[in-house]
Structure 1
Amino acid sequence: MGWAGKLAGAALACGAVGLAAFWLLTEPRRLAAETIAELGAGDATRGERIFWAGGCVSCHARPGAEGDARLELAGGLKLATAFGTFTAPNISTDPQDGIGGWSMQDFANAMMRGVAPDGSHLYPSFPYTSYVRMEPADVGDLYAYMRTLPAISGRSPDHELSFPFNVRRGLGLWKLLFLSDEPVIALPGDATETQLLGRYLVEGPGHCGECHTPRGIIGGPDKSRWLSGAVAAEEGEGVVPNITSGEGGIGSWSEADIASYLETGFTPEFDSVGGSMADVQRNMARLRPEDREAIAAYLKTIPPHPNGYPARAPSGG
């Protein structure tokens, strides 16, 4: 065999090894058996609290839904990003168009590993990078509560993604970088139970960092600037605010101010909540007072950061 043939053979061999390595590294990884056992039987009463903490209606209710219609989780909300447009799916109990046919194990793998029942990767527009930090029993309770909600027919449109973002298998590499159940903020050993609960609610089911933390070029959260604010949309001048004590943040707010804002929607200056946060605040108002107080206590422990979004030019001429 000549040198050209040997070179071609070597290239083919390297390609085969590379493909095999890619396939192994991107394999969807499901929950371990011991974690599945911790899901428990599920308690719908407890699960309702987790449902509101997780803000499920904010993405999965029909856009503009009010009142009891917010519990009709038909999906349809479109999320425009640099990678394409994601559409929130139907997660009602409809067995064909929703998730009514999912087992608790299916649900937990989606929530905590971003893996669909068919074994494919889910896109991180679904915030499993936060839900991975949830207690399995809370996931089981959430599943039990969601089983009590109405079945709504009708599938949401597919995501609108171009190559290579439409190749789900590649998300396995993304998960290796960004899917971790470790806390973002290491609280001191003498942290109070209130602060620890707040960390759990903010970093886990509340997934506050998904919107309030800036992201890198491949869409992963920049945890070194945790909760420092971010660009809200690829077009326009919308921003998600800095909720640390850094310049531009909420350092002047007391814990009582934060808890009151989450309950009432009014800032210490008596401005009212607006934008997409208005819907989030309505969810937070459904929590226990001690939950809102815990969130406030945790936020006051966050290291201060300057605004995590580019400075905006002043308006006017």
Structure 2
Amino acid sequence: MIRRILLGAVIVAAGLAIYWWLTEPMLLSRDFVTRPAHTSNLANGLIVFNAGGCSSCHAVPDQPDRLKLGGGLALPSPFGTFYVPNISPDASDGIGRWTETEFVTAVTKGVSPQGTHYFPAFPYTSYSHAKPDDIRDLFAYLKTLTPVSGKVRDHDVSFPFNIRRNVGIWKLLFMDGKPFTPDVAHSAQWNRGAYLVNGLGHCAECHSPRNFLGGIVAAQRLAGGPNPEGEGWVPNITQKNLGDWTPKDFAFFLQTGQTPDDDNASGSMKRVIKNTSQLPEEDRIAMAEYLKSLPPVEGPPRPKTPEKSEPGN
């Protein structure tokens, strides 16, 4: 009897040790921490800010100034409601006391300065492909903005999804964390577009269907699906749905929100257009070239009950 109890205890301890090891938050390597100081490029930081859509989520809701990043936006999901944090340079409620390394770790690894996992409502699975120096420039740019006081409320997520340690398993399943590698078979412009769409722009986070664990269905990436915010349907943006769009159409839409058939972006896509419209024209053209090159991918079937769609979202 005692042997069975001891054996059971050993098995449980081994299981907990494996779980703890697998779910350990990943920090930046010592090589990054000790590398030479980076000379900030604020102009590039602004481009990264707009490409990453930071104000779409982090601006104070209903605040006309998109640069007041006090957070508070509610993001509903099948797992509960997430509330976007304050990322203004406020020393108490924002990121004013963060180090550059802590910021890059948060954005590219999804790990907080306290060493805990962020929930993947924060699209770090896409941001993980970004160049570290781009994120460093973003941090420098954010520090130039107006501090906004005010703590954002805690997430409203039920058990067991509220256990942050479990996110480590989710990351093992759905986050590869590989840096963007240019495809030598394509032009520099195409590669810039691929970098913006798949990395900073995190287009797949909304435009892809997800499985029951909330991970993107890789085979249907960018093929549309249910709106992650719970209402409506996000369109397929591969050539399966937008095959008649020209690169010029894509670029014009990213600037104005207007589709070739004179429809307009709505819902959350309106916030996205406020960001992409601020990008340099050459970046919108690069994104357009890449989007036009996407092969047709069949998305999930839409429900029979009519739902409100977001044109171009």
Whether TM exceeds 0.5 here: the answer is yes
**Which residue does 2:310 correspond to in 1?**
none
- Partner of residue 114, structure 1: 110
Counterpart position of 2:311: none
Q: 1:40 aligns with which of 38, 41, 58?
A: 38
Q: Which residue of 2 aligns with 1:18?
A: 15
Secondary structure (helix, strand or coil) at the match of 2:259 reads coil
Which residue is equivalent to 1:259? 251
The residue that corresponds to 1:78 in the other structure is: 74
Map residues 1-317 of structure 1 onto 2, 5 A cutoff.
4-36=1-33, 37=35, 40-66=38-64, 69-182=65-178, 189-233=184-228, 235-236=230-231, 238-246=232-240, 249-308=241-300, 310-314=302-306
* CA RMSD between the two structures: 1.8
Q: d(CA) in 2 for partners of 1:309 and 1:70?
A: 36
- Per-residue deviation, residues 2-37 of structure 1 (Å, max 9, x unmatched): xx2222211111000000111111111111133343
Output the amino acid matched with 1:162: S
Indicate conservation of the 8 Å contact 1:242/1:308, yes or no. no
- Which secondary structure does the structure 2 equivalent of 1:85 belong to? strand
Q: Deviations over 1:135-168 (max 9, x none)?
A: 0110110001000001010001100011111111
Q: Closer, same or farther in 2 for the Cα pair 1:38/1:229, shift >3 Å?
A: farther
The alpha carbon displacement at 1:218 in A equals 0.6
Counterpart contact for 2:130–2:179, Cα < 8 Å: no
Q: Is contact 1:90-1:155 (8 Å) kept?
A: yes
**Per-residue deviation, residues 151-193 of structure 1 (Å, max 9, x unmatched):** 0100011000111111111111111112223479x98642111
CA distance in 2, matches of 1:194, 1:312: 40
Give, in angstroms, the shift of residue 306 of structure 1.
2.0
Q: Is the 8 A contact 2:82 2:121 kept in 1?
A: yes
Q: Secondary structure at the match of 1:300?
A: helix
Q: Does the aligned pair in 1 maintain the 2:75–2:229 contact within 8 Å? A: no
Question: Aligned with 2:206: secondary structure?
Answer: helix
Equivalent pair of 2:258/2:265 in contact (CA under 8 Å): yes
- Any stretches of 5+ residues in structure 2 without a counterpart? 308-313
Worse overlay, 192-201 or 302-311: 302-311
Change (3 A) 1:139 1:80: same
- 8 Å CA contact 1:213–1:308 kept in 2: the answer is no
Number of aligned residue pairs: 306
Runs ≥4 residues deviating over 6 A: none
Measure the CA separation in 2 of the matches of 1:306 and 1:189. Answer: 27
Structure 1 residue identity aligned to 2:21: L
State the 1:235 CA deviation: 4.5
The amino acid of 2:131's aligned partner reads: E
1:234 & 1:29 partners in 2: Cα distance? Answer: 28
- Asked whether the equivalents of residues 42 and 140 of structure 1 are also in contact (C-alpha less than 8 Å), the reply is yes
Task: Go from structure 1 to structure 2 and tell me whether the alpha carbon gap of 1:205 and 1:309 turns closer, same or farther (over 3 Å shift).
Answer: farther
Change (3 A) 1:84 1:210: same
Structure 1: 5+ residue stretches without partners: none
- Deviation at residue 224 of structure 1 after TM alignment: 1.2
Task: State how far apart, in whole Å, the 1-side matches of 2:156 and 2:125 are.
Answer: 22
1:301 and 1:29 map into 2 onto residues whose CA distance is 34
Q: Secondary structure at the match of 1:79?
A: strand
Query: Identity across aligned pairs (percent)?
Result: 43
Q: Give the superposition deviation at 1:39.
A: 7.4
CA, structure 1 residues 295+122, in 2 after alignment: closer, same or farther (shift >3 Å)?
A: same
